[in-house]
């Protein structure tokens, strides 16, 4: 029997769980998982051998129907608070569903079960959304049900992955076991660059952009620069780090690289024009997985479109693991 039972809410593809599993080892057991996206569910099931089914929409699940647990993992949806989005917050509407209030389901479930720890991850923009009032509401909601809340903004680039990704992490201890202080990890001290996470050559020509598409990107960038905007593609230095990977819009184009290693110039997909002769390409889904600290043993079986979205939406496993080790030390 594991010492601690956990539940994984808004589970995505299991990045938070992976970090806790790495930190706690055999002392943790996941007893319940909820994720409403069917494609994320498929990737999750492929990589975790749970004997129970993944539950869907958490708003439709009664708290009493969830098994008892000690640790709640909850990467509740961040789009409503993202600086890249519409800043909808608690007014956010997505297919008739308010993503901004989904944290209340975490509160509802944890108020019923009173776990030892609640762990949440979200975008940095959560702290400044609505002049800080949104974050204050979330923090006070956890305090009202009996938890001491610690929070910190950490950057993935400090934890052994070459990605500039700032996120806010909340660690809530039940008041009766809460420490006076909780020390968040400072980083691993390990410096990694994009070159360190590249796939072995040759890379499929499907990842190399066409010359026609490159010209479209250049024109798009020029239009925005003329208006004083900063939007456009970016080519990253292989000895540098990637920008924050995101699931939509220019996500892949903001992290292009030049890869001069040998590759085929014969297209394997339908493209306009020819493969560009400057060797500019997108990173592969496996490279994105490495940017997020997922091990190479993590199976990627869906189409690239789904995988880019899933890793853009996911968390950096290294950061989660480092925080989880600190939580484990407090619990022990």
HEC-encoded secondary structure of 234-251 = CEECCCCCECCCCCCCCC
CA–CA gap between residue 248 and residue 32 (Å, rounded): 29
Domain boundaries of the chain, sorted by first residue = 4-189+316-331, 200-283
Of 121-135, 169-183, 210-224, the least confident:
121-135
Question: What would the pLDDT profile of 74-133 be if each residue is shown by its tens digit?
Answer: 988 755 444 444 444 444 343 334 345 688 889 999 999 999 999 999 988 888 877 778
SS3 content of the chain, % helix, strand, coil (to 5): 40, 15, 40
Question: In the prediction, which pLDDT does 78 show?
Answer: 55
Question: In the prediction, which pLDDT does 87 show?
Answer: 45
CA–CA gap between residue 284 and residue 264 (Å, rounded): 16
Residues 6+ apart with CB under 8 A from 256: 209, 233, 234, 235, 236, 280, 281, 282, 283
Residue 143's pLDDT band (cuts 50, 70, 90):
very high
Q: Above 80 in pLDDT, residue 210?
A: yes
Q: Where are the beta strands (DSSP E) in the chain?
A: 4-9, 28-33, 71-74, 117-123, 147-155, 166-174, 235-236, 256-258, 280-281
| Number of Cβ within a 10 Å radius of residue 126 | 28
CB 312 within 8 A of CB 246: yes
Task: Say which of 72, 78, 120, 172 is annotated catalytic.
Answer: 78
Question: In the prediction, which pLDDT does 270 show?
Answer: 93
Say if strands 166-174 and 117-123 run parallel, antiparallel, or are unpaired.
Answer: antiparallel
Q: Give me the mean pLDDT over the 31-60 stretch.
A: 95
Which among 76, 79, 35 has a CA at the least distance from the CA of 57?
A: 35
More confident of the two residues 188 and 330 = 330
| Number of Cβ within a 10 Å radius of residue 307 | 20
Q: Give me the mean pLDDT over the 247-253 stretch.
A: 78
Give, to the nearest 10 degrees, the angle between helix 15-24 and helix 317-331: 40
Q: Tell me how far apart the terminal alpha carbons of the chain are, to the nearest angstrom.
A: 16
CATH of domain 4-189+316-331: 3.40.50.150
Question: What would the pLDDT profile of 313-322 be if each residue is shown by its tens digit?
Answer: 999 999 999 9
Q: Kindly state the percentage of the chain with pLDDT values over 70.
A: 92
Mean pLDDT of the chain: 91
78 annotated active-site: yes
More confident of the two residues 323 and 248 = 323
Q: Give me the mean pLDDT over the 64-79 stretch.
A: 88
């Amino acid at each position: 029997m594991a010492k601690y039972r956990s539940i994984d809410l808004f589970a995505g593809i299991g990045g938070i769980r992976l970090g806790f599993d790495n930190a706690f080892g055999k002392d943790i057991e996941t007893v319940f998982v909820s994720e409403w996206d069917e494609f994320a569910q498929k990737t999750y099931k492929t990589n975790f051998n749970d004997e129970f089914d993944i539950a869907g929409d958490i708003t439709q699940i009664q708290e009493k129907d969830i098994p008892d647990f000690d640790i709640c993992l909850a990467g509740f949806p961040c789009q409503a608070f993202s600086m890249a989005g519409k800043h909808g917050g608690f007014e956010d509407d997505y297919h008739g569903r308010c993503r901004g209030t989904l944290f209340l389901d975490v509160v509802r479930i944890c108020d019923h079960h009173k776990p030892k720890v609640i762990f949440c991850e979200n975008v940095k923009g959560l702290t400044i959304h609505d002049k800080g009032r949104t974050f204050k509401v979330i923090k006070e909601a956890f305090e009202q049900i009996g938890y001491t809340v610690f929070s910190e903004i950490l950057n993935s680039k400090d934890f052994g992955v070459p990605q500039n990704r700032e996120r806010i992490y909340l660690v809530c201890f039940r008041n009766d076991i809460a420490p006076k202080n909780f020390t968040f990890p400072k980083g691993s001290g390990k410096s990694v660059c994009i070159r360190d996470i590249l796939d072995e050559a040759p890379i499929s020509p499907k990842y190399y952009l066409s010359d026609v598409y490159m010209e479209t990107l250049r024109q798009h960038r020029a239009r925005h620069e003329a208006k004083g905007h900063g939007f456009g593609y970016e080519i990253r230095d292989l000895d540098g780090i990637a920008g924050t990977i995101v699931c939509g819009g220019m996500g892949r184009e903001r992290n292009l690289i030049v890869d001069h290693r040998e590759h085929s110039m014969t297209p394997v997909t339908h493209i306009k024009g020819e493969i560009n002769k400057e060797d500019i390409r997108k990173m592969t889904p496996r490279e994105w997985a490495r940017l997020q600290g997922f091990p190479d043993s993590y199976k990627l079986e869906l189409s690239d479109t789904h995988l880019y979205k899933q890793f853009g939406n996911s968390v950096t496993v290294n950061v989660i693991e480092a925080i989880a080790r600190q939580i484990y030390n407090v619990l022990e």
